[in-house]
C-alpha cells in the first residue's frame, strides 16, 4: 500500500511539473512589457516631453538614448555581482527600480534629473533582461523550457504593438507625466503579482558560476551571438527608419497601421515558435532568416507598391516575433544551466549594440545613398546570418 501511494505521488508530481506555470511566467512577461514600454514610450511623446521640460524634440529624444546606454552598461556587470543572490528578491528589487525611476520621470521638472532617471531605468532593464530567460527556464522541466521562454517573452511584442500607440493616445488625453505615473501604478501591481505567484530560487555560489570568458568560449555561443548581431542589425535598420522607407509606396501616413500589422504578425509568430521551439529550433531559425531574406529581396524590387509592402510587413512580423525565443533558447542550451544567467546579459549587450548600430547604419544610408538601398543591405546581413546559422552545428544543433 505504501509503495502504491508513493508511486501515485511520483506520478502526480511528474504531471504537475509537466505543466507550464502560467501565472508565474506571465509575471515575467509583464516585467518584459514594462521594460520595453519604459524604453519606447517617449518616442510617441517627444513633442509633449520637450514642451514640458522646455527642450527641443532632439534633446527630448535623448531620454531614449540614455535608457539604452544604461541597459547596455549594466547587463553584464549586474549579473556578475548579483549571481549569488536569491532570484525573487533580486527581481523585485529590479521592478522597484522601475517604480522609482518612472515616478521620478513623471514628477521631475529638470531635464538633467530626468536624463539621470532614464539612465537608471535603463540599468534596471539591463538587469531584468539578464534574469528573465534563466528564471523562466528554471520553472519547468527540460521538455518545456522553450515554451516557457516563449511565454516569458510575449510582453515584448505586445508592448511594441499596443503599448506605444496607446501611450501616445493617453499622452494627448492626460499628459505625458500621467502616462509615466500610470506605468508606476502598473509596476506596483506587478510587485504584488511576483510576491504572489513567482517562485523563489537560490543564486549560484561563486564556485558554481561561470565567468563571462568561460561562457563566451563555449561551443556554439559565438556563432549564435553573431547571428543575433546580424539578424537584429537588419531588423533595426528597417524598423527604426520605417517612416522614410514607406515614402516611395505612399504609406508614410499609415505608419501606425503598418506597425500594427507587423506587431500582430509577430504575436502569431510567438505562438507558432512556442509550440515548436523545443523540437525544431534549428529549422525554425533557418526558416525565419530565409523568409526575412525573401522580404528584403521582395522589397528591393517592389517597395513602390503598397500591396507588396503590406504583404512583406506581414512576413517580416512572422519572421521576427519568435526571434528572441529562438535565439535565447539556443544560447541557454549552448551555455547549460551553469552559464545561462551569464550568457543572457551578454545577449542583452549584443542586442543593444544591434539596436544602436541599426540606428547609425540606417541613418548613414538614409543620409548618403537613400532608402532604396535599405533592402540590399538587409539582404547582405541576412545572408551572412543564414550562412553562420547553417554552419553552426553546435549553436543550432539538429534535434
Confidence of residue 19 (pLDDT cuts 50, 70, 90): confident
336 in the same domain as 220: yes
Same domain (yes/no): 270, 381? yes
Whether residues 26 and 148 share a domain: the answer is yes
The CA-based dihedral angle spanning residues 297, 295, 300, 255, taken in that order and rounded to the nearest 10 degrees: 180
Residues 328-358 as b/e (b if ≥16 CB within 10 A, e otherwise) read: bbbbbbbbeeebbbbbbbbbbbbbbbbbbeb
The model's pTM is 0.80
Same domain for 323 and 362, yes or no, is yes
Looking at the fold, whether 196 and 331 belong to one and the same domain comes out as no
C-alpha 124/C-alpha 136 separation (Å) is: 18
Angle CA 87–92–94, to nearest 5: 95
Q: Cβ–Cβ contacts within 10 Å for residue 272, how many?
A: 15
Last residue of a domain, which of 170, 194, 209? 209
Task: Measure the CA–CA gap between 275 and 393, rounded to whole angstroms.
Answer: 22
Q: Are 346 and 76 in contact, with CB atoms under 8 Å apart?
A: yes
SS (H, E, C) 65-122: HHHHHHHHHHHHHHHHHHCCCCHHHHHHHHHHHHHHHHHHHHHCCCHHHHHHHHHHHH
Q: Does residue 314 surpass a pLDDT of 50?
A: yes
256-278, pLDDT tens digit by residue? 788 888 888 988 998 899 889 88
pLDDT value of position 4: 38
Cα distance between residue 261 and residue 246, in whole Å: 14
Q: Is residue 275 part of a domain?
A: yes
Instruction: Please report whether residue 56 resides in a domain.
Output: yes
pLDDT digits (tens, 9 = 90+) for 51-108: 999 988 778 878 887 888 888 888 888 888 887 889 999 999 999 999 999 999 999 9
Instruction: Over range 292-308, report the average pLDDT.
Output: 95
CA 82 to CA 262: how far, in whole Å?
37
Same domain, 141 and 245: no
Residue 8 resides in a domain = no
Asked whether residue 11 is domain-assigned, the answer is no
Closest Cα to residue 47, out of 37, 60, 65?
A: 60
If you write DSSP's letter for every residue of 198-226 in order, what string do you get?
PPP-----TTTPPPHHHHHTSTTHHHHHH
pLDDT at residue 8 in the model: 38
The CA–CA distances, whole Å, from 204 to 76, 135, 141, 349 equal 16, 13, 19, 22
| 335, 221 Cβ separation under 8 angstroms | yes
pLDDT tens-digit series, residues 104-151: 999 999 999 999 999 999 999 999 988 888 899 889 998 888 888 888
Structurally, the chain folds into a number of domains equal to 2
Look at residues 209, 237, 262 and tell me which one is the last residue of a structural domain: 209
Residue 287 has what pLDDT? Answer: 97
Residues 236 and 186 placed together within one structural domain of the fold: no
Is 106 a domain residue? yes
DSSP class of residue 41 equals G
Look at residue 354 in the predicted model and tell me its pLDDT.
87
**Is the same domain home to 103 and 63?**
yes
- Decide which of 180, 209, 238 is a domain's last residue: 209
282 belongs to a structural domain: yes
Which residue bears the cell 531605468?
121
- Per the structure, the complete domain to which residue 347 belongs is given by 210-399
Q: Which parts of 319-391 are beta strand (E)?
A: none
Q: Do residue 181 and residue 296 come from a single domain?
A: no
Rounded to whole angstroms, the maximal C-alpha distance in the chain is: 80
Residue range 230-252, pLDDT digits in tens: 999 999 889 878 878 888 999 87
The domain that holds 107 is classified in CATH as 1.20.1250.20
Amino acid at each position: 500500500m505504501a509503495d502504491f501511494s508513493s508511486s501515485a505521488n511520483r506520478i502526480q508530481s511528474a504531471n504537475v511539473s509537466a505543466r507550464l506555470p502560467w501565472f508565474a511566467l506571465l509575471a515575467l512577461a509583464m516585467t518584459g512589457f514594462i521594460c520595453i514600454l519604459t524604453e519606447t514610450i517617449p518616442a510617441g511623446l517627444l513633442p509633449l516631453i520637450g514642451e514640458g521640460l522646455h527642450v527641443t524634440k532632439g534633446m527630448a529624444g535623448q531620454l531614449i538614448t540614455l535608457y539604452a546606454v544604461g541597459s547596455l552598461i549594466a547587463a553584464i556587470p549586474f549579473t556578475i555581482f548579483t549571481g549569488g543572490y536569491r532570484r525573487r528578491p533580486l527581481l523585485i528589487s529590479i521592478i522597484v527600480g522601475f517604480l522609482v525611476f518612472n515616478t521620478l520621470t513623471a514628477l521631475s521638472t529638470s531635464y538633467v534629473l530626468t536624463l539621470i532617471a532614464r539612465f537608471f531605468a535603463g540599468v534596471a532593464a539591463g538587469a531584468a533582461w539578464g534574469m528573465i530567460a534563466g528564471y523562466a527556464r528554471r520553472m519547468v522541466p527540460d521538455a518545456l523550457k522553450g515554451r516557457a521562454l516563449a511565454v516569458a517573452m510575449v510582453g515584448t511584442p505586445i508592448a511594441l504593438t499596443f503599448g506605444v500607440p496607446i501611450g501616445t493616445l493617453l499622452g494627448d488625453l492626460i499628459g505625458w507625466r500621467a502616462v509615466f505615473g500610470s506605468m508606476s501604478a502598473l509596476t506596483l501591481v506587478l510587485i504584488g503579482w511576483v510576491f504572489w505567484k513567482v517562485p523563489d530560487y537560490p543564486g549560484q555560489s561563486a564556485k558554481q558560476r561561470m565567468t563571462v570568458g568561460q561562457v563566451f568560449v563555449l561551443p556554439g555561443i559565438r556563432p549564435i551571438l553573431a547571428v543575433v548581431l546580424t539578424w537584429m542589425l537588419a531588423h533595426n535598420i528597417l524598423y527604426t527608419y520605417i517612416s522614410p522607407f514607406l515614402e516611395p509606396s505612399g504609406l508614410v501616413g499609415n505608419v501606425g497601421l503598418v506597425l500594427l500589422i507587423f506587431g500582430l504578425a509577430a504575436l502569431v509568430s510567438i505562438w507558432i515558435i512556442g509550440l515548436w521551439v523545443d523540437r525544431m529550433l534549428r529549422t525554425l531559425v533557418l526558416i525565419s532568416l530565409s523568409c526575412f531574406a525573401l522580404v528584403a529581396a521582395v522589397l528591393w524590387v517592389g517597395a513602390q507598391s503598397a500591396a507588396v509592402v503590406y504583404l512583406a510587413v506581414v512576413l517580416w512580423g512572422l519572421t521576427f516575433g519568435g526571434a528572441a525565443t529562438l535565439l535565447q533558447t539556443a544560447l541557454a542550451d549552448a551555455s547549460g544551466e551553469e552559464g545561462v544567467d551569464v550568457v543572457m546579459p551578454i545577449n542583452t549587450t549584443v542586442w543593444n549594440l544591434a539596436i544602436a548600430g541599426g540606428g547609425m547604419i540606417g541613418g548613414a544610408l538614409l543620409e548618403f545613398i537613400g532608402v532604396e538601398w535599405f533592402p540590399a543591405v538587409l539582404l547582405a546581413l541576412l545572408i551572412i546570418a543564414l550562412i553562420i546559422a547553417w554552419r553552426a552545428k553546435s549553436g543550432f544543433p539538429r534535434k
